[in-house]
Structure 1
Amino acid sequence: MNWDEIEGNWKQLKGKALEKWGEITNDEMDVIAGKKDQLVGQIQAKYGVTKEEAEKQVKEFSDNCR
């Protein structure tokens, strides 16, 4: 699934994202609203990973949203 589709279906996919990144709160997921850059930033902040690692995780997430 490409990121435009994920952003458009964020309300349905938010639950999967919360399962994957449990440190990010439901309210923070609402603010992210499917925006890829904001999700990457939250992953970096909550998990202390590099931008590259966060982007890798987001890509894996989008690849699994089929």
Structure 2
Amino acid sequence: MNNDIFKGNWKQVKGNAKAKWGELTDDDLDQAEGNREVLEGKIQERYGKSKEEAKRDVDEWVNSL
């Protein structure tokens, strides 16, 4: 899924993201607004992951959608 499609479908997949990363708040997800880099940053903050780990997690999640 490319970034434009990801951003365009954000409202539909936002609940799925909340289910996957339960520590992310609704505010975190609203701030991301479909921006992968912001989502990765929020995952890094909440879960203490490296940038590479967060990117890999988001890649795997997007591919599973």
- Would the TM-score normalized by the shorter structure come out above 0.5? yes
Q: If the length of structure 1 is used for normalisation, what is the TM-score?
A: 0.92
Alignment correspondent of 2:30: 30
Q: Secondary structure at the match of 1:52?
A: helix
Instruction: Give, in angstroms, the shift of residue 44 of structure 1.
Output: 0.4
Question: Relative contact order, CA 8 A, sep 6+: which one is greater?
Answer: 1
Structure 1 equivalent of residue 64 of structure 2: 64
Q: Once the two structures are aligned, what percentage of the paired residues are identical?
A: 48
Aligned length: 65
| Contact 1:3–1:62, Cα closer than 8 Å, also in 2 | no
Give, in angstroms, the shift of residue 2 of structure 1: 2.1
Deviation at 1:3, TM superposition (A): 2.4
Q: The residue matched to 2:19 in structure 1 has which SS? A: helix
Question: Normalising by structure 2, what TM-score?
Answer: 0.93
1:31 deviates by: 1.1
